[in-house]
């Protein structure tokens, strides 16, 4: 039997998510049954299974499975088993930290949050992927994700999709009440209040206020857009006037009612749902939400605008750089096949499919000139500029420890348990004591 017939006969059976032992049994039996009916000998190749771990996808998985099917057809003898983890970055980090420190070989390819590469590379958990990223290839990507995947001069992952905080607004309601999208945070608060007063049952502004990684991303955007931040010339510098003022503003969003108190329970998806059912004027979220707002049956379809995040008067807008990268575990038993999968899924073709199907923003510059993509996602033009200036969270192998301190203290300030000054002072003290 020729290799291509072998591939063709497997084609209808592609189904990656949750493929159980019975399905695998059927899949493996097919070539043998077919061989019995023909004169050619059965294929002797033993399939390599590459296990790909990643966060849960939002939306219909068909396009993603289609990509994995294409990879399998282009790489005879390699199969992909895709396994989802919970959406929250913190939960995924915990899974990987436990598995990889135990040198688990249960997965080969993993999707890494932009903040983990330094930590995982330093721990020796990732393969050096320099061969997949020669200089010419590296130049195709935005610099933010390239810096994030680089540890001591070498790439340990390839950028898969990119995130930056953006502001979603109800353009129908802003038009109706004579407003344009806000440039500053105080303007946002004023518009949210005014629209809420006229439209019953609306919240003003929702975002990610739960104590988790997403809160750090949100809070840093206020600090940065007031000229502050977490680190100044390699030193933790949290308890500054700019940061106190920015956090006081965040707290005032809740006390004034612009932001509902329940924001302190929201991660990305619940916040997206509040806005998506038409119950908020403004939302801070990542770019993926756009696709879901525009899908058929959405209560806000055609009514949503996307803009850069506001800033404090006299300062500049600052979006947190987020996004996911694909790496290969040092403990993989199939590193070559795993590297091929990483190369395939981070290729321009795969990133285009993910952008069209899921609104995942490509880290490759060229796709921001792609006519078909721009026709359905015109806001990509705005995003290209946002990405060029997006700010990384502190790049250090100790980031997760720093983040845990920030999560607790930012949360205390947002909920009013501490004043911004108290929260920032203890964050600074703890970070200086507990981080090397
Ligand atoms: C998104 C971002 C990621 C960030 C996370 C926080 O997934 O891509 O970088 O850490 O949100 O919730």
- What does 163-202 look like in DSSP terms, one character per residue? EE-EEEEEHHHHHHTT----SBHHHHHHHHHHHHHHSTT-
Q: What pLDDT score does 151 carry?
A: 95
Q: Which of 327, 421, 425 is nearest to 118 (CA)?
A: 327
**Residue 289 CB less than 6 A away from ligand 1:** no
- Cα separation values, 250 from 163, 168, 176, 215, 417, Å: 22, 18, 27, 11, 14
Calculated CA dihedral for residues 378, 381, 386, 388, nearest 10 degrees:
150
DSSP-based helix, strand, coil % in the chain, nearest 5: 50, 15, 35
Q: Divide the 436 residues of the chain into consecutive groups of 10 and give the mean pLDDT of each group.
A: 29 35 38 41 70 92 97 97 95 97 98 97 98 96 94 97 97 98 98 96 97 98 97 91 98 98 97 98 96 95 97 97 98 98 98 95 96 94 90 92 97 98 97 90
* pLDDT at 43 (0 to 100): 52
In order of their start, the domains of the chain are 48-163+323-391 (3.40.190.10), 166-320+394-434 (3.40.190.10)
Q: How far apart are CA 364 and CA 143, in angstroms?
A: 10
Among protein residues, the one with the nearest Cα to ligand 1's atom 11 is 214
Q: Round to whole Å and give the CA distance between 319 and 166.
A: 7
Q: What pLDDT shows up at residue 175?
A: 98
The number of the ligand 1 atom at minimal distance from the alpha carbon of 88 is 12
Tokens of 34: 């077919």
Distance 216 CA to ligand 1 centre (A): 10
Q: Whose CA is nearest to atom 3 of ligand 1?
A: 322
Phi and psi torsions of 160, nearest 5°: -105, -60
What local confidence, expressed as pLDDT, does residue 2 receive? 32
113 lines ligand 1 (CB under 6 A): yes
Q: 88 CA distance to ligand 1 centroid (A)?
A: 8
pLDDT the model gives residue 85: 97
Query: What's the pLDDT at 388?
Result: 86
Residue 45, pLDDT score: 60
Q: Measured from the CB, is residue 161 less than 6 Å from ligand 1?
A: no
């Amino acid at each position: 039997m020729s290799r291509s017939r072998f591939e063709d006969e497997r084609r209808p059976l592609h189904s990656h998510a949750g493929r159980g032992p019975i399905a695998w049994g059927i899949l493996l039996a097919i070539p043998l049954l077919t061989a019995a009916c023909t004169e050619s000998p059965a294929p002797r190749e033993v399939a390599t299974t590459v296990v790909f771990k990643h966060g849960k996808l939002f939306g219909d998985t068909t396009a993603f499975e289609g990509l994995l099917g294409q990879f399998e057809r282009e790489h005879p003898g390699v199969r992909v088993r895709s396994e989802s983890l919970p959406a929250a970055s913190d939960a995924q980090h915990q899974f990987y930290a436990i598995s990889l420190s135990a040198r688990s070989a249960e997965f080969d390819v993993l999707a890494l949050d932009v903040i983990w590469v330094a930590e995982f590379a330093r721990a020796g958990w990732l393969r050096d992927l320099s061969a997949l990223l020669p200089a010419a290839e590296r130049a195709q990507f935005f610099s933010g994700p390239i810096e994030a995947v680089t540890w001591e001069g070498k790439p340990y992952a390839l950028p898969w999709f990119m995130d930056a905080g953006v502001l979603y607004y109800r353009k129908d309601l802003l038009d109706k009440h004579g407003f344009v999208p806000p440039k500053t945070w105080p303007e946002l608060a004023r518009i949210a209040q005014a629209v809420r007063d006229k439209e019953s049952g609306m919240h003003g502004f929702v975002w990610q206020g739960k104590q988790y990684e997403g809160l750090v991303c949100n809070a840093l955007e206020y600090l940065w857009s007031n000229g502050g931040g977490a680190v100044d010339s390699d030193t933790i510098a949290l308890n500054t006037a700019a940061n106190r003022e920015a956090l006081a503003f965040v707290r005032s969003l809740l006390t004034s009612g612009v932001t509902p108190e329940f924001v302190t329970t929201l991660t990305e998806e619940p916040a997206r749902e509040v806005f998506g059912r038409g119950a908020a004027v403004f939302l801070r979220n990542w770019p993926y939400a756009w696709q879901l707002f525009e899908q058929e049956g959405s209560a806000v379809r055609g009514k949503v605008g996307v803009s850069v995040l506001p800033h404090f008067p006299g300062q500049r807008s600052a979006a947190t750089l987020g996004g996911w990268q694909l790496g290969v575990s040092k403990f993989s038993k199939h590193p070559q096949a795993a590297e091929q999968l990483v190369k395939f899924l981070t290729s321009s073709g795969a990133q285009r499919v993910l952008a069209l199907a899921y609104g995942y923003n490509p880290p490759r510059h060229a796709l921001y000139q792609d006519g078909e993509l721009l026709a359905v996602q015109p806001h990509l033009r705005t995003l290209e500029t946002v990405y060029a200036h997006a700010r990384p969270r502190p790049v250090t192998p100790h980031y997760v420890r720093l983040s845990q301190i920030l999560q607790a203290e930012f949360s205390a300030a947002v909920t009013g348990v501490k004043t911004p000054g108290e929260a920032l002072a203890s964050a600074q003290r703890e970070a200086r004591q507990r981080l090397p």
